[in-house]
Amino acid sequence: VPERAFLAELAWLGEDDGVARDVLVRTVDGVITEVRPGVARAPAGTKRLAGVTIPGLVNAHSHAFHRALRGRSEMRGGDFWTWRELMYEMAQRLDPDSYLELATAVYAEMALAGYTAVGEFHYLHHGDHGRPYDDPNEMGLALVEAAQRAGIRITLIDTCFLQGGLGGEPLLGTQLRFGDGNGERWSWRVDKLLATLAALPAGGHARPGVAIHSVRAVAPAAMKTVATYAARHEIPLHVHLSEQRKENADCLAEEGVSPTVLLDRSGALTSHTTAVHATHLLPQDMTILGLAGVNVCACPTTERDLADGVGPFADLVDAGTALSLGSDSHAVIDPFEEMRAVEMNERLVTNRRGIHQATTLLTAATAGGAAALGWAGAGVIRVGALADMTTVTLDSPRLAAALATLPDVSDAQAAVASPGSLEAALVFAAGAADVRHVVVGGRSVVEDGRHVTVRDVPGALREAVGHVLSDR
């Protein structure tokens, strides 16, 4: 896509610049070269974007295959750990072909919901009983191919998973497919992955990251190996952190410290680290994460689905962390629901409203996620940024009248009759179904609410999930 031009009826240009009208956005080779508000007449060949255009939404934490569990696990009772048994059963059914088919459909669903990039936290590396595929990265490369087919960017976060629990418990059952034996063999495999990704066309859609699955799955020595690897290659490092109280208790019993302290001792907490969940933290954990400038990825629709708890995200941001958002288990795929859930959950816990500003949540869902995934310069509509944009219609029943203004109201009426804030309407009232256009790297991926290349996304999901369920 050499040159494109878009005229956004309204565009959100970030926390400082707010919303502008009639914004011409020109792109060359997938990068924004001009942003000009107040353009009354669109030049010939310009694509009109009716509604409000925001930077492309970033899904900073995903396990694509969990989508196959949607609607299948909700009424069984139990807790996170019983849900995990169902999730492992689903993982056991996947091979590279079925994972390519499933992930393509899931990433297409993400595109329809307004996501332009995904961080795939990938640990399902090997075949049955842990036997490597001919290319030991075949499963990960299926995810890279899936993102290409669905038209979105991917950071493939290759995850180290070496033990079944703290203290060196062995891998069991499905977990055997996750393991590489030790940190050195994990590094060897990821070296090959980096070489493959580096050979993709320049300006490609895929980048690498690495992860420590959790303090449960990686012992301190191997944590150091992964952290050092991320630093040496200057790629993002992710980790699941304190999603469950049991993880904290086990870590305290085995190592005498909290998971945050253990990770910090291993050199795993820097400004290139993203801590996913960060639900059950001590005050000193928050201080450590804030001082290190860690990015915290909240996954509130999953955290409530799995009965995890409510993370202290306001306190974390106060302590100095950045914030990003992920749909994680894909119980729902709706970036607007993620944004408002961060605020709504804290309202329930604190009995206070207005803890997170709408603009702060929009930044978390865009630039915050782009930073977490190593896409520097994405997540903003600005000259020099990657041309990723999501347009939300204002004509849906959800948003109609959210912004209406009344003329000539008295001062007393002003508070209730004042125009709604566009940012607040998006965060607190919009839904995935309101997304009309999605542009990734200057290329249209969704037009008028239809995916351009995956023509029938519900059909693709039905087929893919059906294949996974019937394969064995």
- Report, as residue numbers or ranges, the catalytic residues: 277, 328
Q: How many CB atoms lie within 10 A of CB 243?
A: 25
The contact set with Zn ion (CB under 5 A) reads 328
26 vs 122, beta carbon nearer Zn ion: 122
Beta carbon nearer to Zn ion, 193 or 306: 306
Rounded-to-integer distance, Cα 393 and Cα 430, Å: 9
Of residues 53 and 279, the one with the C-beta less far from Zn ion: 279
Q: Give the integer Cα–Cα distance in Å for 58 and 378.
A: 9
Q: Which residue type is seen at 99?
A: Y
For residue 264, the minimal CB distance to Zn ion (Å) is 21
Q: How far is the CB of 59 from Zn ion (least distance, A)?
A: 12
**CB 329, min distance to Zn ion, A:** 7
User: Residue 253 or residue 307: which is nearer to Zn ion going by CB?
Assistant: 307
For Zn ion, the closer CB: 4 or 216 = 216
* Rounded least distance, CB 330 to Zn ion, Å: 11
CB closer to Zn ion, 55 vs 119 = 119
Q: Which is nearer to Zn ion, 4 or 238 (CB)?
A: 238
The CB-of-306 to Zn ion minimum distance in angstroms stands at: 10
Q: How many CB atoms lie within 10 A of CB 195?
A: 10
CB of 94 to Zn ion, least distance (A): 16
Select 120 or 138, whichever has its Cβ closest to Zn ion. Answer: 120
Question: At closest approach, how far in Å is the CB of 341 from Zn ion?
Answer: 16
Nearest-CB residue to Zn ion? 328
Residue 19: Cβ-neighbour burial (10 angstroms; 0-12, 13-18, 19+): middle
- 3-state SS of the chain is CCEEEEEEEEEECCCCCCEEEEEEEEEECCEEEEEECCCCCCCCCCEEEEEEEEECEEEEEECHHHHHHCCCCCCCCCCHHHHHHHHHHHHHCCCHHHHHHHHHHHHHHHHHCCEEEEEEEECCCCCHHHCCCCCCCHHHHHHHHHHHHHCCEEEEEEEECCCCECCCECCCHHHHHCCCCCHHHHHHHHHHHHHHHHCCCCCCCEEEEEEECCCCCCCHHHHHHHHHHHHHHCCCEEEEECCCHHHHHHHHHHHCCCHHHHHHHCCCCCCCEEEEECCCCCHHHHHHHHHHCCEEEECHHHHHHCCCCCCCHHHHHHHCCEEEECCECCCCCCHHHHHHHHHHHHHHHHCCCCCCCHHHHHHHHHHHHHHHCCCCCCCCCCCCCECCEEEECCCCCCCCCCCCCCCCCCHHHHHHHCCCCHHHHHHHHCCHHHEEEEEECCEEEEECCEECCCCCHHHHHHHHHHHHHHCC
Nearer to Zn ion, 328 or 334 (CB): 328
List strands edge to edge, sheet with 153-160: 57-62, 115-122, 153-160, 206-212, 237-241, 273-277, 295-298, 322-325
The CB-of-213 to Zn ion minimum distance in angstroms stands at: 9
